[in-house]
A and B are shown apart, each in its own frame.
Chain A
Amino acid sequence: MTAPLLILGWGNPSRGDDALGPMLLAALRQSLLAALGDQVELLEDYQLQVEHALDLVGRSRVLLVDASLSAAAPFEVSALQAAPDSSYTTHSLSPQALLQVYQNLQGQTPPPCTLLAIRGSGFELGQPPSPSALAHLAAALSWVRTTWLPAG
């Protein structure tokens, strides 16, 4: 059965603060399984791609999580609206475009989707997440637990 809530995070665990999305999922995975395991699915990938539109099907709410170079510290939360994308490689897809793909594929409005953009600063290969990014992650994690997730 499809879990009503989906948290989809992406990033490269080997590239510094790019790991923030996967790290948030890892932290939740440890603490959530017992309490909310059947209500929440945690999904990780390297990058957002079109087929993730199919992962939105049947959800009541979705949280998308990525590191951000432009978000205000420690994190920004915004309601996502479907919008077209413009890229010249297959190596990126915006969250807004993912919703648009869903809309066109399913012929209906996507479930309510929230973007959690965690501020990062260093994305060098082989570097650990920066101390500031880890502080931002802790704040974001707290927000997910207290605000986005249901009481468990």
Chain B
Amino acid sequence: MTFALETAAHPEGLRRVAIDPVSRVEGHGKVTLLLDEHHHIQQVRLHIVEFRGFEKFIEGRPYWEVPVMVQRLCGICPVSHHLAAAKAFDRIVGARPVTASATAVRRLMHYGQMLQSHALHFFHLSSPDLLFGFDSDVAKRNIVGVAQAHPEIAKKGILLRKFGQEIIRITSGKRVHGTGAVPGGVNKLVTKQERDSLLHDLPQMLSWAQDAVDIAKALHAQNPALYNQFGSFESNLLSLVRADGAMDLYDGVLRVRDAAGRILFDGVEDQRYLELIEEEVRPWSYMKFPHLRSLGAERGWYRVGPLARVQNCDFIPSERAETERQAFVAWGRGELVHASLAYHWARMIELLHCVEVIGQLLADPALLAGDLVTSGVRQRSGVGMIEAPRGTLIHDYDVGDDDLVTRCNLIVSTTHNNQAMNEAVRSVAREYLDGRELTEGLLNHIEVAIRAYDPCLSCATHALGQMPLDVTLLAADGTRLDQVQKSSTGEFVHVD
């Protein structure tokens, strides 16, 4: 594993560039490429405005408000935050464990959430790159192009996502601002009519999910050189697994593998995550850089998300997805798969798993009847951890005797992947930067690398008129050589 982002061989020839906080406009993704004196990429910095101030926003609030409030962290996966917070406050109210019905309803909600997010990512964000190629016409390389060339694929994506959203509506009570999970349990069950409506659509969803895995697998088989090399770098992998080593996206213990596949840590309880992880602050970014405490920042950074989860677990506890996991492992020929594009394949294996688990949960009578909440001895602190679509999500709270939150620490998947995303962009920039000018082709390749991780961008603030991506090329002395921006309509412009 290498760590060349911050350690230049000849730092005296480079100039550090501090990013003015004012320039960190909400909704921007900013990439700064720093060249050395030989005009080779020396350093890459991906600036993503993350959950600025959200922890302070939570502190001082009554704890029972928080599972609803944290949904405003992210407009794409509000349910992940909702459930992670509820799990943390289960600890606070001493609800260990919550009832069988609460577990069933929450799990159904979560796997519906994972399904809708994964479907959106693959079918509507990444499939244009994968189906048309990274260098294809930008006017065609979007979901509209996919819909025109492959209308059946686009339709499956929308309807898979719609199915996941319907599960969320049923289990959380509302399409948005849902309140289904509460500290100690849930506030509603699923009706027989609701369950039957989901069961009706399940076979079709299972078939489409299998199709999605087949597409991802076929793309790798068609162009193994590209898929194995693009944005590939070695890293540690971190995720929750079930106590027996199975994949579990709702609950479990932390496991870390090193880049060679050896298990470094296993069975770490969620309440003890700070014994495993620490967060580093760097002056050029608001987003922290978590790493394994025992290995330090240089060797201890890791990746989370589908690529980590599929390879961290010993098996997937559903038949079809386990078959696909084995095919994925076989692709690595005895080694871990580290290519960034393999995230998409792993993501579709998880999507298939989600549909299978949803089928299992819909057969659980606890969904329809049983106690909603429980409680026990009140605690002052609680950690809630869940595998969100993009990776491990940690909510950590202290609550005072007056029921107000006194401390809040959130580590979201995009933060876990911060170092890895920088590494992916650096890998791509080194390979595709040609000369001293930023080209549309390079910008496209950088976007493809970022897309594999699908970072959360200053969640749920996307007013009209924002610029989605800004790339700046700096000479060794800090002089700006080039700057390009890409608008939400795909317009590519050099900035004077």
Minimum Cβ distance to chain A for residue B371 (Å): 32
A67 to B465, CA, bound (A): 9
Q: Is B454 an interface residue (CB 8 A)?
A: yes
Return the chain A residue nearest B78 by Cβ: A46
Q: Is B147 a contact partner of A101 (Cβ separation < 8 A)?
A: yes
Q: Is A71 an interface residue (CB 8 A)?
A: yes
- The answer to the question of B306 belonging to the interface, with a C-beta cut-off of 8 Å to chain A, is no
B456 touches which one: A86, A91, A123 (CB < 8 A)? A91
A88 touches B144 (CB 8 A): no
- B142 lies within 8 A of A90 (CB): no
Chain A residues within an 8 Å CB radius of B23: none
Instruction: Please measure, in the bound complex, the distance between the C-alpha atom of A101 and the C-alpha atom of B85, giving whole angstroms.
Output: 34
Q: Are B488 and A85 in contact (CB under 8 A)?
A: yes
Q: B457 on the interface (CB 8 Å rule)?
A: yes
- What chain B residues lie within 8 Å of A46 (beta carbons)? 71-72, 74-75, 78, 176, 460
A125 to B144 Cα, complex, angstroms: 33
A95, B489: Cα distance in complex, Å: 11
Contacting pair B143 A50 (CB below 8 A) = yes
A83 engages B461 (CB within 8 Å)? no
Asked whether A86 lies within 8 Å of B465 as measured between CB atoms, the reply is no
Cβ contacts B55-84/A at 8 Å (1 or 0 each): 011000000000001011011101000000
Per-position binary interface string of chain A over residues 33-44, scored 1 when its CB falls under 8 Å from any chain B CB and 0 otherwise: 000000000001
Contacts A15-B461, A89-B125, A91-B75; A45 near B144 (Cβ below 8 A):
no
A-side contacts of B120, CB under 8 Å? 49-50, 90
Q: Which of B27, B151, B486, B488 is the one whose CB lies under 8 Å from A104?
A: B151
Chain A positions 100 through 121: 1 when the CB is less than 8 Å from some CB of chain B, otherwise 0: 1100110000000000010010
Q: Contact between A47 and B162 (Cβ–Cβ < 8 Å)? A: no
Q: When the two chains form their complex, are residues B144 and A70 in contact, meaning their CB atoms are under 8 A apart? A: no
Instruction: Say whether A84 contacts B162, CB under 8 Å.
Output: no
Residues A1-60 near B (CB distance < 8 A): 10-15, 17-18, 44-47, 49-51, 53-54
- Residue of chain A at shortest CB distance from B56: A126
Residues of chain A within 8 A (CB-CB) of B157 are: 50
A15 to B57, CA, bound (A): 11
Pick from B139, B158, B447, B461: contact of A50, CB below 8 A: B158
Minimum CB–CB distance from B30 to chain A (whole Å) comes to 12
Is the C-beta of B469 less than 8 angstroms from some C-beta in chain A?
yes
Chain B residues positioned under 8 Å from A53 (CB to CB): 158
Cross-chain contact A92 with B462 (CB below 8 angstroms): yes
- Closest chain B CB from A113 CB (angstroms): 14
Q: Which of A44, A69, A101 contacts B176 (CB 8 A)?
A: A44
A residues near B74, Cβ cutoff 8 Å: 46
| Given A47-B462, A85-B143, residue A14 in contact with residue B125 (CB < 8 A) | no
A11 to B461, CA, bound (A): 7
The contact string, 1 if C-beta is below 8 Å from chain A, for chain B 216-244, is 00000000000000000000000000000
Contacts of B158 in A (CB 8 A): 50-51, 53-54, 101, 105
Q: Which residues of A contact B75 (CB under 8 A)?
A: 10, 12, 45-47, 91
For the complex formed, measure the closest distance between the CB of B200 and the CB atoms of chain A, giving whole angstroms. 17
Interface size of B in residues (CB-CB distance below 8 Å): 60
Cβ of B53 and Cβ of A54 under 8 Å apart? no
A86 with B486: CB separation less than 8 A: yes
Q: Cβ of A44: which chain B residues have Cβ within 8 Å of it?
A: 176
Q: How far is the CB of A58 from chain B (nearest CB, A)?
A: 15
B29 at the interface (CB under 8 A from A): yes
B294 within 8 A of A: no
Is the CB of B468 closer than 8 A to any CB of chain A?
Answer: yes
Binary per-residue interface labels of chain B (225-267) against chain A in the complex, 1 for a CB within 8 Å, 0 otherwise: 0000000000000000000000000000000000000000000
Q: Find out whether the CB atom of A104 lies under 8 angstroms from the CB atom of B460.
A: no
B117 contact set on A, CB distance < 8 A: 90
- Asked if A132 CB lies within 8 Å of chain B CBs, one says no
B332 an interface residue at 8 Å Cβ cutoff? no
User: Provided the pairs A45-B176, A46-B72, A126-B53 are in contact, do residues A84 and B142 lie with their beta carbons within 8 angstroms?
Assistant: yes
- Is there contact, CB below 8 Å, between B57 and A91? no
Q: Which residue of A lies closest to B72 (CB)?
A: A14
Say yes or no: is B270 at the interface (Cβ < 8 Å to chain A). no
Instruction: State whether A87 touches B468 (Cβ < 8 A).
Output: yes
Q: Which residues of B have CB within 8 Å of A47?
A: 75-76, 460, 462
A91 touches B486 (CB 8 A): no
In Å, the complex CA distance between A84 and B142 comes to 7
Q: Tell me if B323 counts as interface (CB < 8 A to partner A).
A: no
Give the residue name and chain of the B residue nearest to A47 (CB): B75
| A17, A46, A83 interface centre (most CB from chain B within 10 Å) | A46
B61–chain A nearest beta-carbon distance, Å: 11
Name 26 A/B residue pairs within 8 A (Cβ), A-sorted.
A12-B459, A13-B72, A14-B69, A45-B175, A45-B176, A46-B74, A49-B161, A50-B157, A50-B161, A70-B464, A70-B465, A85-B143, A86-B142, A89-B454, A89-B456, A90-B117, A90-B120, A90-B125, A91-B457, A91-B459, A92-B468, A94-B488, A101-B147, A123-B26, A123-B463, A125-B53
Beyond known contacts A46-B71, A100-B147: 8 more, CB 8 A cutoff:
A18-B461, A45-B176, A46-B176, A71-B464, A84-B145, A84-B489, A90-B454, A95-B464
The 9 closest A-B pairs by CB, nearest first: A46-B75, A70-B465, A86-B490, A104-B147, A47-B75, A12-B460, A84-B144, A68-B464, A69-B465
